[in-house]
Amino acid sequence: MTMNTVIYPVRDLERSKALFTALLGTGPSVDAPYYVGYDVDGQHFGLDPNGYGKGLTGAVAFWDVDDLRGTLQALLAAGAELVQDVQEVGGGLQIATVKDADGNMVGLRASAE
């Protein structure tokens, strides 16, 4: 299991894109009205203008897992609260998010089944 994706919910996509382009020193690899993503040294950083509407409260690290539904169920059984159920996000990927008892968000990511 690896963590190589961090998604930031943003309210102003253009301002956030300018900031992250300056911070990362490169332009986005994905630049769409619904998502802007950067790939830098094996890490992916995403800006989601719909993130707050999906329940994201801040930056969320996404863990790559082999069995998305199985891992999600294990986290729910361990006391996590579902924030976003499994959803296709394009490019052959599915994601889901939960939060722990302290409100910390945990993202899961896997290739579509």
Q: pLDDT tens, 46-96?
A: 999 999 998 888 999 999 999 999 999 999 999 999 999 999 988 899 999
Q: What is the pLDDT of residue 113?
A: 62
For residues 40 and 58, give the distance between their C-alpha atoms in angstroms, rounded to a whole number.
Answer: 20
Tens of pLDDT, residues 8-44: 999 999 999 999 999 999 999 999 999 999 999 999 9
CA atoms within 13 A on the CB side of 32: 9
Do 64 and 110 touch, CB atoms closer than 8 A? Answer: yes
Which pLDDT belongs to residue 90? 84
DSSP state at residue 102:
T
The pTM for the full model equals: 0.87
Q: Which long-range contacts (CB under 8 A, 24 or more apart) does 11-18 make?
A: 11/49, 11/52, 13/47, 13/49, 16/47, 17/47
- Report the SS3 class of residue 104: coil
Average confidence (pLDDT) over 96-102 = 94
Rounded distance, CA 68 to CA 77, Å? 14
Expressed as residue numbers, the domain containing 53 is 2-111
Are 86 and 68 a contacting pair, CB within 8 Å? Answer: yes
User: Do the strands 43-48 and 2-9 form a parallel or antiparallel pair, or are they unpaired?
Assistant: parallel
Q: How many domains, in total, are found in the chain?
A: 1
Question: Residue 37 maps to which CATH number?
Answer: 3.10.180.10
